[in-house]
Structure 1
Amino acid sequence: MKLFNCTHCAQLVYFENDFCERCAYPLGLNVEQQQIVALERHDEQLFTQYGQADGATYTYCANHAYHACNWLVPTASNQPFCRACVLNHTIPKLSVPEHITRWQALEKGKHRLVFSLLQLGLPIISKTENPETGLAFDFLADPKNPEAEKVMTGHDNGLITINIKEADDVAREMARKNMDEVYRTVLGHFRHEVGHYYWDRLVADSPTLLDECRQLFGDDRADYGEALKHHYAEGPPINWRQHFISAYATTHPWEDWAETWAHYLHIIDTLQTASAFSLRVRPQASSIADNLTAAITDDPTKPKTSRTSCSNGCPFH
Structure 2
Amino acid sequence: MQVYPCSHCGHLVFFDSMHCVRCGSTLAFVPEAMALRALEPAPGNAPALWQERSPAPGAARYRLCTHRDDGGGCNFALPAHSPHHLCLACRQTHMLPALTDPLLRQHWARIEAAKRQLFYTLARLGLQGTADNADAQASPRYALLADQPGEPTILTGHQGGTITLNVAEADDVERARRRLALHEPYRTLLGHLRHESGHFYWERLVQQGGRLDAFRALFGDERRDYAAALSAHYADGPPPDWQEQHVSAYATAHPWEDWAETWAHYLHMVDLLETASAYDTALRVPGADGIVREHVANPFAHPAPPFDTLVRQWVPLTLLLNSLNRSLGQPDAYPFALSAGAWCKLRFVHDTVQQASSS
Same fold? TM cut 0.5: yes
Aligned to 1:291, the other structure's residue is in SS state strand
Residues 1-317 of structure 1: pairs in structure 2 closer than 5 A: 1-42=1-42, 45-50=48-53, 51-68=55-72, 69-124=74-129, 135-143=140-148, 145=149, 147-206=150-209, 208-282=210-284, 291-296=291-296, 298-304=297-303, 314=312
Write the letter of the residue equivalent to 1:60. Answer: L
State the Cα RMSD in Å: 2.6
Letter in 1 for 2:147: D
Q: Distance in 2 between matches of 1:131 and 1:110?
A: 15
1:32 Cα deviation after fit = 1.2
| 1:36-60 CA-partner distances (Å, limit 9, x unpaired) | 1100212662101233432321111
Q: Distance in 2 between matches of 1:91 and 1:267?
A: 30
Give the CA deviation at 1:255: 0.3
Number of residue pairs aligned between Structure 1 and Structure 2? 305
Cα distance 1:33–1:131, how it changes in 2: closer, same or farther (>3 A)? closer
Amino acid at match of 2:48: Q
Structure 2 residue identity aligned to 1:38: A
Match of 2:339 in 1: none
5+ residue gaps, structure 2 = 315-359
Change in 2 beyond 3 A, CA 1:37/1:130: closer
Structure 1 SS opposite 2:258: helix
TM-score, normalisation: structure 2: 0.79
Deviation for aligned residue 1:134: 5.5
Q: Secondary structure at the match of 2:211?
A: helix
Of all paired residues, the percent bearing the same amino acid is 39
Query: How much has 1:230 moved relative to structure 2?
Result: 0.3
SS in structure 1 at match of 2:48: coil
TM-score by structure 1 length? 0.89
In structure 1, runs of 5+ residues without a counterpart are none
Q: Quote the Cα distance in structure 1 between the aligned partners of 2:56 and 2:215.
A: 45
What SS is found at the alignment partner of 2:81?
helix
Output the CA distance in 2 between the equivalents of 1:80 and 1:23.
27
Kept after mapping to 2: 8 A contact 1:294/1:314: no
Change (3 A) 1:221 1:269: same
